[in-house]
Amino acid sequence: MVEEYTRVGDKWYYLLHPRPVYIVASGRRDAKAGFMAASWLMPLSEEPPRIVAALEKTSHTTSLVLDTGAFTVNVYGIGDRDFVYTSGTISGRKHDKVSLLNVRLNYDTVTGAPRIVHPRPLGFIDSRVYRVVGDVADDVYLVIGDVVGAYADKALFNERYGWDLRKVRILMHAAGRAFTSNSGVFVARKLA
């Protein structure tokens, strides 16, 4: 019966949380790179290997993804919640997030997109933009990417089963500053 439930209203998407949150990075070696927190991202298909991300149309990082045609998805654990939270709350158009958050990038990917090496992610996906859909929502682009490489920490990942959940705590976003993982609830503090 409907009366047993509370009306959720504009926050309907919280019903789909918590969900993993990642850092999407893009840019060129000879220009400003950008990165942002993103949780509306998922596998799209295995054949061909593709992912889809709903990325904010006004984001600096999104503009870099569209300009370069490439991006990485960096996976973090609960211990990096402050970094991920801050990455998602500071504008790359207004601030040099690389310097501000002491981020180190490497451009050794197949696509040439930057991957984050500090703080060290648990793994990352290298992706080339396959298609961008801009007419299904007012606030986000659906960015479909071909996965051209995927890498994980050897000590935490098993090719047959995926993440070793006895060892790893994948960062998940609940709402606002609240994060959780596959074990417990944690609250982030803003670093800058």
> In terms of C-beta density within 10 A (0-12 exposed, 13-18 middle, 19 or more buried), how is residue 188 classed?
buried
Residue spans of the domains in the chain: they are: 22-187
User: Of 146, 109, 144, 106, which is closest to residue 127 (Cα–Cα)?
Assistant: 146
* Gap between the Cα atoms of 192 and 186, Å rounded: 19
Residues linked to residue 140 through DSSP beta bridges, in sequence order: 56
Residues linked to residue 189 through DSSP beta bridges, in sequence order: none
In this prediction, residue 1 carries a pLDDT of 66
With residue 85 as reference, give the H or E element that holds it: helix 81-89
Name the average pLDDT for the chain: 94
CATH level 3 topology of 22-187? Pnp Oxidase; Chain A (2.30.110)
In this prediction, residue 183 carries a pLDDT of 72
In this prediction, residue 2 carries a pLDDT of 82
Instruction: Mention every residue, 6+ apart, whose C-beta is less than 8 A from residue 187.
Output: 177, 178, 179
Span 51-61, pLDDT tens digits? 999 999 999 99
